[in-house]
Structure 1
Amino acid sequence: MAATEQSGRRKGQRTNRASEGKKNVVVLAEKRDQARQIAEAMGWRMSGDFGTGTFNGQKAVIVWASGHLVEIQEPQEIKPDASWSNPATLLPIPRSFDMRVSKPNNGRKGKSPSQYLKVIREQLRQAGEVIISTDPDREGTAIAWQLLEHCRFKGSVKHAWLVDGLDKSAVQKTFHRLKTGDEMKSWFRASEARSRSDWAYQFAVRALTCYARHGKMGNLLGQGSGRESVVSVGRVQTPTLTMVVERCREIRNFVPKDHFLIEGQFDLAGQQVAALYKPVVTAEIIDAAPAGVEWEPSKRIVKDGESEPLDTPLFTGQQEVQSFRERLLAAGDKAIVVGSKTRELKRQPPLPCDLAEFQAEMHKASGLTASKAQKVLEKLYNDGLVTYPRTEHAELPLSLYEPGERNPVLDHLTNHAQFSMAASRARDIHNGQDTGYPSFKPSCFTKKPMEHYGIIPTRKAAHLDRMNSLERQAYEIVAHRYIQALWPPALIREQKLGFAVPCEDLLGHPHSRFATTLNMVLDPGWQQAFPSEREKETDIQPVPVTRHMPAPLKNVELKTRTTRPPAWFTDRTLIKAMKSVGRFVRDPQLRKILRDSAGIGTPATRSTILETLLAREFIARKGNRLESTPKGEALIDDLPSWFVQVETTAVWEDWLNRICELRRDDETACQQRDKFVFRQLDRLEGYLQELQQRHGAISGSAPRRSGASSSGPRKPTPKMLAFANVIARTLGQPLPRDVTQNGRACSQYIDKNKSCLEPS
């Protein structure tokens, strides 16, 4: 009897193991559109809440989320006494990060997060293996792993890293080279480090909002009621606001200066060559303060290992400049060549687009905001027409240069009139069939490791006539840049010339030096691909010269110029500045971190940050330009330096990237995650303590601010309106309509213009 029972148990165990081996493969996508594209590529059938098919001989079920279905609990859920009205209750910041199902978005149609989660949980119960096929980035990876941990899934996990796009060929190729779960789990740990640290900023938001509502932060912050009075801050949001504030203040405080450019016309063996006066500048000369010269900070961007650049001279004294011109002409016959350097250089074509570059190109072409441009591009990605859009990199992996990868894309691009010539010739060049150029490896292809690469068209043929105008424009930008990148470099012959005239110059040198650069296009290369875009070159033949060769100065032209302030930020330039902000950082180590981490924010979040700043009324759009508001400037002025510096958030990105690199070592990744998070929490706690010391204890509801209303913009008080009318009459201008309707606008108008009533 015992032997029979033991035999039965063994038979049951074998049956269970066999059934476990036949469990389903569950493919977990980030959203329905993504799941549909994968199912179509793999030949699976979509129906209702999931799709079905087979993969490697097993039943496959594809399910999808809708963004983050689980999230960290709200502060008051983890710390019940955390209050918006008493900052003392916010300390200490909790070190636990319990998750819960995300709350439904108000007004959003469709299923709730809990309904999505129910479908996923039911399928995971029957799964022996999960293939994560969310967006190939930190957040996409986190969406999947959060669900697996929430549902306590213990089976095998693999990753379909969909960086090549969602067309049929790319999806099939990705599913045949799956990554292991532990290979990519560190990306989830990096996302946890980011989300937990960002979550802790809510405690600073509550404290700042409370103090602002009690009038501790001036008369702009904390105005109104509800969301209108919230003082929001964030690790990327606040440094980005600082960039806009500093630019606007620089423009407002800018004082234009008239000055002269001094151009000489030199005779080189009968050829007239124009050169600009370029004196040598030293610290001693700047200290000597020569007459007729003003100095401004150099705009040259410092490279690693270089010393700080000296100030740039502006020649402002008309009398001194005129006297200098006379000296030059008097000694002009004795002018000579003091330097000549000729070289041939290759001018490489522009790289394919990364997301920031694409957003800039779309804004330039159509005025589209960064967030709208990103949505258009993501629509093309979801339609399988372009590769993954949320990328920092513009280069391409070497594998995409293989004929089997390159030619199918170029083949279908030749079917469009606007690309046909350029695409077909690029294809012929790299197939060794072009008579003008031999095949070569374009500079856009690299061996360096990249999870995401430049945005290019996929093999899927695009039907431009079926797209709306914005989709068509977006596709054309991507295709244009890809084709251009495959063309040969332009070959330029560059000649740098230096001249000296034996007379005292404006800085006290005994000789006056002039310089110029002559360029001649030997081969236009990629500039032929789309001829209307050929870069303008001087196309002047290089001149055969020798050192000390006579070069008589025939004329001196004084060109008047006025210095200009920096340009206002636009959607296009702000997004690019967030990525390249490291170029302007003085500290070489921090500059390298910023460069390696590609600035502040991520491709996926930069446009969202911009929209948040606009929604909070910290910045405002005026036409195409972005301007900081008095409210935004008041916030930046109140915050400590580490809160607003771009270097702080750049260090974040550097740390998160290093967590991502801890592949197949989840224990170390978790340790580094916790070390990073606790460091941020310690710093935030210190700041909250500083606020308490500065503003004192506060408890109870905030006093009602003047003019605050429970809904809509507050009206200006009669006294405010009367004061604004006095200012308007003094300025001789009509009172703007928004000033008469909106108390905040009225207050800003008064603060900005009240100085006109002060006695001179």
Structure 2
Amino acid sequence: MRLYIAEKPSMAAEIAKCLSGPVSRKDGYIQTGGGTITWGYGHILRQAEPDEYDPKYEKWRAEDLPIIPQSWKLLVADSCQKQFEIVKNLIEQADEIVHAGDPDREGQLLIDEVLDFVNNQKPVRRILLNALDEQSIKKAIASLRENQDFFNLKQSALARQRADWLIGMNLSRAYTLAAQRAGHRTTLPVGRVKTPTLALVVRREREIENFKQADYFTVKADFQHSDTVFTAYWKPREDQPGLDTEGRLADKAIAKALLEMLQAAKDPAAVMACETTEKKEPQRLPLALSTLQVMAGKKFGYDPQIVLDTAQKLYERKLTSYPRSDCEYLPESQYEDAATILGNLSNIAHTELAGWSQKADTQISSRAWNDKKITAHHAIIPTVERCNYAALNETERNIYYLIAQAYIAQFYLVHVYDQTRAELEHAGERFTANGRIIKELGWKEVYGAEAEEKKEEDNGTLPAMSKGDQVEFLKASAEKKSTKPPTRFTAATLLAAMKEIHKYVKNPELKKQLKDVAGIGTEATRATIIKELIDRSFLREETKKKYLKPTEPAYLLVDMLPEEITYPDFTALWEDILRQMAEGNASLDTFLGQQARFATGLCNKAKGANIPLKGEYHCPRCRRGVLQLRNGKHGKFWGCSRYPACRGSFNDKDGKPDMPVRPQPQQQPLQQQKQGQG
């Protein structure tokens, strides 16, 4: 018997439809002439809690940290006990097993861990389902691979899972206990990805709070060559007086003097250089999940979780390919589906998609079709299933629109333009002018204005000029501008920051090294992490634009933690190691050894963490804790928050600690004081 184990019931049902013979539904599995299909519900197995390794860990104590399992333990989730037994029995009956988890790191692990848990010795094949339409599934069934080929992907997933446990379990306990010793009645969750993500928002908010507006001046001049008037921008010399630290002219008097000098000059301006270069912009690539989430956030204001949930629904309806993809490329074999997909899109009435699809050229092959760039999955694209666009709700239509738009753009020409850059000199000062002439609109016809990154100094069309030409100076002006504070994150821009985390890395050398790393977290987890920070009240959304602002517990958590966990340097480096592990170039044991040492060091730092005391009555005995009202054998009393390190305690007197009053130095009568002074 061939047994397919799918990640979830919906996927199992779609596989069953594509297998030969009669279909018979049973309790927890489906029988067909082509094999039996069963399923999990995501992770059937869960990581053991600390107290399930040793009951002593049920009570949180600093002296027990760090907790580092010598042998990792998995347990069957209570809600999955029945389905686990069904899967286990079917594995025992099977001759061959087909792993049908999602085609990503986590999907690989959640079926593999079940097979390992039951000590499976049967041969295992792997099916990669990037789409659930019948054609894609049948093609995947005919192209099974050996599951052993994905061993390194499983190792990477195990490393991520166990590292998150080591950091989360140990540091959450260590720093919650440290906060409680300082009088804070709170639980502080610390996470390998969650905490540096929260710190990004806290630091951004402090930049805004500490921002001081500064004025500066942009100097520009109008020139005329032949019959064409154009604008050029003044470029200050390095030794130019009056510049701020960013190289902007900040001195109003110098700006005024510069304008007067330019206006008074009698000689014409001269062209010092003029160069025209043909530039080409290749088609914008199809979408990975994070790209889709960022685009949908900017265009429609959707938060990342809504985008993921909607993309998942479209996938389950067979309309689009697998949504949790971090890849923006497509397998070359899928090029043959282009005519069918574009034909379907051209029939979607009353949308731009129809018009664009009809003008698309299937003879054009963009850079997106590249087998060497494909990982376990490919970019999110429409499937060959015809979409009943009118039957979708508004959110589904908008997400499908973005996915289809990116796919259609692959069948338009490269965008081509001539870029001209001219340098001029007038009165000893340098000016530059930039212009462009579009030669082939290409794929930007699909995206229109949103594809253009218009810069202030772009002039449109410049006149034909050559080095040495004289041009007439017409006038100069100085526009006063003000610096602006950084913009607060939204869920979409925070997700983009997680993906481009190298920009926020503190170590300059590491910043260069991590430029090509695909951020922190994964395509599937980033939205969940942001949502959890909001749901647990560490972040709140404000205004219609849903800007993210940190709450008081967020400041407390970020301020008390060492930089090793609040800056993304280590986390981004670890993500790079996980990527290398998936490629077979890093060791699981070595990585977990690093994580264990990291957790140990930070647990030790927690014991001496400098945390502001929270409480009305500071402990007079240790002066490092606060007195808290407690219930004892003989009634209420006040005890130090640092117990048992400090055993200071005081009786309760009318809701206050009955502390001895320190004697005040006795003052002499005023007359004696005067006599003493005399």
Residue 69, structure 1, aligned to residue 47, structure 2 = no
Residue 643 of structure 1 corresponds to which residue in structure 2? 565
Shift of 1:607: 0.6
Corresponding residue number in structure 2 for 1:497: 422
Structure 1 partner of 2:676: none
SS at match of 1:448: helix
| Matched residue, 1:579 | 499
User: Following the alignment from structure 2 to structure 1, what is the Cα–Cα distance between the partners of residues 173 and 508?
Assistant: 36
Aligned to 2:115: 148
> Structure 1 residue 523 and structure 2 residue 455: aligned?
no
Q: Does the C-alpha gap of structure 1 residues 707 and 604 become closer, same or farther in structure 2, counting only changes over 3 Å?
A: farther
Measured after TM superposition, the shift of residue 584 of structure 1 is: 4.7
Aligned residue among 119, 140, 143 for 1:174: 140
Q: 1:375 to 1:332 in 2, by over 3 A?
A: farther
Q: Does 1:98 align with 2:20?
A: no
1:151-550 aligned within 5 A: 151-163=118-130, 165-201=131-167, 202-215=169-182, 222-223=184-185, 229-281=186-238, 285=239, 291-295=241-245, 312-331=246-265, 333-401=267-335, 404-417=336-349, 418=351, 419-426=353-360, 429-430=361-362, 439-451=363-375, 452-502=377-427, 511-529=428-446, 535=452, 540-550=460-470
Query: How far apart are the structure 1 equivalents of 2:52 and 2:447?
Result: 59
The one-letter amino acid paired with 1:292 is G
Cα distance, 1:349 vs structure 2: 3.0
Q: Deviations over 1:525-550 (max 9, x none)?
A: 12333657674887844422221211
Which string of whole-angstrom CA distances, capped at 9 and with x for unpartnered residues, describes residues 690-740 of structure 1? 3335589xxxxxx999799xxxxxxxxxxxxxxxxxxxxxxxxxxxxxxxx
Residue-by-residue CA offset, 1:5-57 (whole Å, 9 max, x unaligned): xxxxxxxxxxxxxxxxxxx11101111111122222335736242112133xx
The aligned amino acid for 2:23 is R
> What letter is aligned with 1:69?
I
Q: Are residues 501 and 705 of structure 1, via their aligned partners in 2, closer, same or farther at CA, if it must alter by over 3 Å?
A: farther
User: Which of residues 25, 28, 32 in structure 1 aligns to 2:2?
Assistant: 25
Letter in 1 for 2:146: T
Q: Deviations over 1:556-612 (max 9, x none)?
A: 022111111111101111111110121454756533553333011100000111012
Between the aligned partners of 1:240 and 1:326, the Cα distance in structure 2 is: 50
CA distance in 1, matches of 2:348, 2:126: 36
Asked if the contact 2:66/2:599 (under 8 Å) is kept, the reply is no
Q: Which residue of 1 aligns with 2:646?
A: none
CA distance in 2 between partners of 1:458 and 1:638 (Å): 49
**Paired AA for residue 460 in structure 1:** E
Q: Indicate whether 1:652 and 2:630 are aligned.
A: no
CA distance 1:530–1:244, shift in 2 (3 Å)? closer
Q: Does the CA-based 8 Å contact 1:593-1:654 persist in structure 2?
A: no
Supply the distance in 1 between the matched residues of 2:275 and 2:504 (Cα, whole angstroms).
30
Mapped to 2, the partners of 1:706 and 1:484 lie a distance apart of: 65
> 1:478 and 1:46, CA in 2 relative to 1: closer, same or farther beyond 3 A?
farther
Distance across 1 between alignment mates of 2:627 and 2:413: 65
Q: 2:594 aligns with which of 676, 679, 682?
A: 679
> What is aligned with 1:52?
31
| Separation (CA, whole Å) in 2 of partners of 1:54 and 1:660 | 35
Q: In 2, Cα distance between the equivalents of 1:101 and 1:496?
A: 66
Q: Secondary structure at the match of 2:295?
A: helix
Deviation at 1:97, TM superposition (A): 0.8
Q: Does 2:513 correspond to 1:556?
A: no
Contact 1:260 1:315 in 2 (8 A): yes
Kindly tell me the number of residue pairs found equivalent between the two proteins: 607
- Residue 459 to residue 243, structure 1, CA distance change in 2 (3 Å): same
Q: Which segments of 5 or more consecutive residues in structure 2 lack a partner in the other structure?
A: 612-624, 631-678
1:350 counterpart SS class: coil
Pairing 1:597–2:574 present: no
Provide structure 1 residue ranges, at least 5 long, that are not aligned to the other structure.
Answer: 1-23, 104-111, 224-228, 296-311, 431-438, 503-510, 663-667, 697-702, 709-760
**1: distance between equivalents of 2:452 and 2:73?**
57
TM-score by length of 1: 0.76
1:79 aligns with 2:79: no
Say which of 103, 107, 120 aligns to 1:136: 103
Cα deviation for residue 455 of structure 1 reads 0.9
RMSD between superposed Cα atoms in Å: 2.4
Give the secondary structure class of the aligned counterpart of 2:95.
strand
CA shift, 1:84, in A, is 4.2
Q: 1:706 to 1:399 in 2, by over 3 A?
A: farther
Offset at residue 362 of structure 1 (A): 2.1
* Cα distance in 2, alignment partners of residues 271 and 675 from structure 1: 67
Maintained 8 Å contact 2:178/2:609: no
1:138 Cα deviation from its structure 2 partner: 1.0
Distance (Å, rounded) in 2 between the aligned partners of 1:539 and 1:292: 27
Alpha-carbon distance change, 150 to 606 in structure 1, aligned in 2, over 3 angstroms: same
Deviations 1:638-684 (Å, cap 9, x if unpaired)?
Answer: 1112112212111111111222112xxxxx97xx1111112101221
Percent of residue pairs bearing the same amino acid type: 27
Instruction: Measure the CA separation in 2 of the matches of 1:255 and 1:515.
Output: 30
Deviations 1:63-89 (A, max 9, x none): 110011112211111133225442102
Give distance in 1, aligned partners of 2:207 and 2:289: 28
Q: Which residue of 1 aligns with 2:616?
A: none
CA separation of 1:231 and 1:571: change in aligned 2, threshold 3 A: same
Match of 1:125 among 85, 92, 96: 92
Q: Does 1:39 align with 2:6?
A: no
Q: 1:472 to 1:133 in 2, by over 3 A?
A: same
Alpha-carbon distance change, 259 to 531 in structure 1, aligned in 2, over 3 angstroms: closer
**What CA deviation, in whole Å up to 9, does each residue of 1:614-646 have, x standing for no partner?**
123222111210112232122112111211221
- CA shift at 1:253, angstroms? 0.9
Q: Which residue in the other structure is 1:753 paired with?
A: none
Do the aligned partners of residues 707 and 175 (structure 1) sit closer, same or farther apart at CA in structure 2, a change above 3 Å counting? Answer: farther
When normalised by structure 2's length, the TM-score is 0.85
Match of 1:108 in 2: none
- 1:62 counterpart letter in structure 2: I
AA aligned opposite 1:171: I
Q: Is 1:622 matched with 2:542?
A: yes
Question: What letter is aligned with 1:45?
Answer: V
Taking a change above 3 Å as real, the CA distance of residues 341 and 695 of structure 1, as seen in their structure-2 partners, is: closer
**Structure 1 residues 690 and 523: CA distance shift in structure 2, 3 A:** closer
Say if 1:536 and 1:148 are closer, same or farther in 2 by CA, change over 3 A. closer
Instruction: Give 2:368's aligned amino acid.
Output: C
Which aligned segments of 4 or more residues in structure 1 are displaced greater than 6 angstroms? 536-539, 703-708
